[in-house]
Amino acid sequence: MTAPQEIPGLAELGKEVPIGDIDQELREFFATDETVTKASLLNLAVYSEQSDALATNPPIIRELTRENACRSLLVLSLHGPERSVRAWVEAHCHLTEAGAKAACSEQVSFLLIGGSPSLVRSMIFSNTDSDLPLVLWWQGEMSEVFEERLHARIDRLIFDSAQWATPTAPLFRLSASLKEGARFVPHDLSFTRGSALRACLAACFEDPRSLEALPQLDAIEIRHSPGQQGFMAALWLITWITHRLGWTLQGSASIQGTYLFRSNNGRTVEANLLSTPDSGPALVGLKTWGAGFVFEASLDDDQDYWKLLIQFDTLQQESLFPARSQTPCGLLGEILGRAGRNRSMIEALPRLRELLVSN
Amino acid sequence: METNPFIEDDQRVKNRPQACTVVIFGASGDLTHRKLVPAIYNLMVDGELPAGLKVIGFARREKSDEVFRKDLEVLNQKVSRSGHNAGLWEKFAGSISYHQGEFQDVTAYESLRTRLDAEAAAGGTPNRLFYLASAPEAFDDILLNLKASGLNDPIQGGWSRVIIEKPFGKNLPTAKHLNKVANEVFPERETYRIDHYLGKETAQNIMVLRFANAIFEPLWNNRCIEQVQITCAENLGMEGGRGGYYDNAGALRDMVQNHLLQLLSLIAMEPPTDLSADGVRDEKVKVLRSLRPLNGPEAVGASVVRAQYTAGTVQGTEVVGYRREDRVNPGSLTESYVALRIFIDTWRWAGVPFYIRMGKRLPKKTTEISIHFRRPPAVLFNAPAVAAGAADNVLVIRIQPNEGISLRMQSKMPGPSLRLEPVKMDFQYSTSFGKSSPEAYERLLLDAMAGDATLFARRDEVENAWTFVDSIEDAWHKSENPPKMAEYPAGSWGPKEADELLAQDGNAWRRL
């Protein structure tokens, strides 16, 4: 249990306001200053049970709102003997390109102590900007707060399976919710960490020669940083690749991170997830090869770009592809920037669970 | 496998460019340095370029690859949208080379072909995209030599395309000639006439606004729309030696024939049957075919105003009149301003005037389209006693700068009395989406690499636009009693004759 005076970041949350005055206080931001204008494309609720969340999240939101105007609702829920609710309002303003006005995104922060799932729901639902989609960024382990009455009202759910001690159970829970008709689109930050590499692969196989070589792949090797973050990103990547190719899982080798797949033409393909000794970005490299063909992606020294190498026998072609930001803000921006149409992750979710339980 | 399994659903809706070699003719010019190469660089920074893309600059000056790259780098540092990263540039520059040759010299094209063929044989891309960024006088030579050297013929497994920069001719005969030459060398489906206005985000959004929202299309006709205004205002004059080109073109040819008639087509077109290039362009060209012709000096004089600016003050600086500008003929009869009243003779638009104005040395730089809706019946809140001074509903599409859309409507002023005032709902790209829009050239280059010609002008679009414009030019320059050339002080909103043109219909130019 954390005493309120020990919770970091409260002093930086803007103006503390009574719960009933939040709307009024938000309006006042824009009523008095003609050089600012409100901007919002969505409601972003950020839920956490980690005591430093109200210190770590506002800087992310400030950065995120440069390109993704939203009303953010930051919720920190802590256990405590007595129920208490506090709220703060703040605006993140960024000068527009035209320069005449600053576009401001509203931020409402809540500290809930001794609360319940219904209190969390009530704080989020009573403070959303009407008619705009509701995106929930769930931080940390799934708790009982994530229940049907909450997820029935959200459009997109963002989480990070790398933060889960055992991802199998919560992923099963998510799958079950979706099967039961939940309409939210899930986004795992671990899946998003591989988005640049997925785009690299897509670009590589636009070339008809590469496409022709695809059924002849013999092996796939993914290098990742040590720890859960790197492993989950690599696992998602191999999940996605094999799912897209329609391969089936034959089994896993005794070595951690090695899987055997059967391709559509009956070949056995070995996939290895290799942990590098250095910490750094979750994914460090991807190599796949077959008869006379190699595709390799590796991060450049500055980690800003992926260096792609496509090799057919003696012919070699190199190119660059942006590595995309791996910060929480960069990952969130990537998800929000792709709207809600991409169902690649949902479709591959059963395969991920299959791999998780097999190794 | 027939299709790439790694393309995700949301990526299928966007054009996927194919690797190619972009050969830019006129590689020493301003367009290459300020627009084209920075656009390709920015595409690379954003990860939009296909792997294996190469750029070859073709021009007459002797120059090494290194010098060419350095020249490009100097400009890229100044103008690149995403800034300039020396490390990235170095990697990008590795894909750029220079090919020296005279546009008229077929051997230069033959050596270019030898080079491209050798690269393709060694596993490089077989696709070729030729960009005509030279002076228009060289277009014929370049096109014919591309044919003579066989560069127009796609090699196995590849394609060969051409992008042609405006102007697409100086009038209908020259446009037809250019189209004829171009189509003798490249099939129409591989010919991309670039109009950078169509690459602007807001221009692309016109169709989305109209056809992706249920609330506008039912009102988009002569029953609900009173008039449409398209304004392209520039505060610049003839700086930087522009006078030489401009005095031979004029506002009508330079802007109306291409950019503004393209915008008009997007506003007035019927819903296309699909979003294919020809689906969209079929509907646009129908609009151009339906423009009521202005034949003869009387018809032109009644619906078109041309003018030149006289000395005045623009944004606090005193400027000279048009005829005293650098490289402008002191006796010039070229218009720096034109205003037109156009009718589109279709069921949808019968009786609705479309007013177009374009001018140099106006008070500010802006391009906007405004849709003016008819007023409600003069009863209740619109009874004369209540609605004195009330304004009509106006939907404004701002093309540049400050891209966005606004809607003006009537609202009751707070207070005990019933007083109506216009208020504005405003959508701005920059505040809603935050991120900056890509440059028009970036989008258009990608589309050409992907083989999508939707945002490029088709041959019949160009020729129909010239047919309309030529009748006006003929009245001005070939008739015995041409309509007069009006004047306006630099820094004003144009000649009074242009105001009178709208006043005849009981309308006025929108305040910008």
Buried b (16+ CB within 10 A) or exposed e, B178-214: bbebbeebbeeebbbbbbbbbbbbbbbbbbebeeeee
A93 close to B (CB below 8 A): no
Tell me the DSSP string of B78-121: HH-TT---HHHHHHHHTTEEEEE--TT-HHHHHHHHHHHHHHHH
In a domain, B193, yes or no: no
Judge contact between A356 and A338, C-beta under 8 A. no
Q: Quick one: B130 and B202 in the same domain?
A: no
How many C-beta neighbours within 10 Å does residue A214 have? 19
Q: Quick one: B23 and B128 in the same domain?
A: yes
In a domain, B61, yes or no: yes
Query: Which pLDDT band holds residue B436 (cuts at 50, 70, 90)?
Result: low
Average pLDDT rounded to a whole number, residues B374-390: 72
Q: Quick one: B241 and B336 in the same domain?
A: yes
Q: Which range (A138-142, B314-318, B379-383) has the least confidence?
A: B379-383
- Set out the domains of chain A in order of their start, with CATH numbers: 4-154 (no CATH), 192-325+343-358 (3.30.360)
In a domain, B414, yes or no: no
Our answer to whether residue B196 is catalytic in this structure is no
Tell me the DSSP string of A126-146: TTPPTTS-EEEEE-SS--TTS
Q: Nearest Cα to A172, choosing from A186, A183, A158?
A: A186
Q: Quick one: B206 and B139 in the same domain?
A: no
Average pLDDT rounded to a whole number, residues A157-177: 92
Considering the candidates B33, B196, B259, B372, report the single residue annotated as catalytic. Answer: B259
Cα of first residue to Cα of last residue in chain B, in angstroms, is: 56
In a domain, B388, yes or no: no
| Beta-carbon pairs below 8 A across chains A and B | 106
Rounded Cα gap, residues B469 and B21, in angstroms: 36
Residue B7: which of A202, A315, A343 has the nearest Cβ? Answer: A202
Q: What is the CATH number of the domain that holds B326?
A: 3.30.360.10
| pLDDT tens digits, one per residue of B161-197 | 999 998 899 999 999 999 999 999 999 999 999 988 8
Helix axes B459-477, B277-289, angle to 10 degrees: 20
Tokens 């005032």 -> residue: B421
Helix axes B277-289, B261-268, angle to 10 degrees: 100
What's the Cα-to-Cα distance from B428 to each of A68, A97, B233, B503, rounded to whole Å?
Answer: 14, 10, 20, 31
Closest CA of chain A from B87, distance in Å: 10
Residue B430: which of A96, A215, A308 has the nearest Cβ? Answer: A96
Encoded tokens for A294: 């190699």
pLDDT over 90 percentage in chain A: 48
Q: Which of B165, B190, B209 is the last residue of a domain?
A: B165
Q: Does position A214 have pLDDT exceeding 90, yes or no?
A: no
Query: Which pLDDT band holds residue B37 (cuts at 50, 70, 90)?
Result: very high
Query: Which pLDDT band holds residue A340 (cuts at 50, 70, 90)?
Result: low
Q: Nearest 5°: phi and psi at B14?
A: -110, 150
Chain A partners of B438 at a C-beta cutoff of 8 Å? Answer: none
Identify the closest residue of chain B to A104 by CA–CA distance.
Answer: B431
Quick one: A3 exposed, middle or buried, by C-beta within 10 A (0-12, 13-18, 19+)? exposed
- Residue A47 pairs in a beta bridge with A75, A138
Average pLDDT rounded to a whole number, residues B275-286: 92
B428/A96 Cβ within 8 A: yes
Q: Quick one: B15 and B86 in the same domain?
A: yes
Q: Quick one: B46 and B154 in the same domain?
A: yes
For residues B96 and A28, the model is more confident at B96
What residues contact residue A13 under an 8 Å CB cut-off, 6+ apart? A54, A58, A74, A88, A90, A107, A109
Split into its structural domains, chain B has a count of: 2
**What range does the domain containing B120 cover?**
9-165
Average pLDDT rounded to a whole number, residues A189-215: 88
In a domain, B274, yes or no: yes
B433/A103 Cβ within 8 A: no
Q: Which of B165, B188, B223 is the last residue of a domain?
A: B165
pLDDT value of position A28: 86
Judge contact between B445 and A79, C-beta under 8 A. no
Question: What ipTM goes with this model?
Answer: 0.86
Q: Quick one: B339 and B481 in the same domain?
A: yes
pLDDT over 90 percentage in chain B: 70
Chain B partners of A68 at a C-beta cutoff of 8 Å? Answer: 434
Q: Quick one: B213 and B153 in the same domain?
A: no
| Secondary structure of B34-55 in HEC code, one letter for each residue | HHHHHHHHHHHHCCCCCCCCEE
Query: Which pLDDT band holds residue B1 (cuts at 50, 70, 90)?
Result: low
Rounded Cα gap, residues A97 and B258, in angstroms: 28
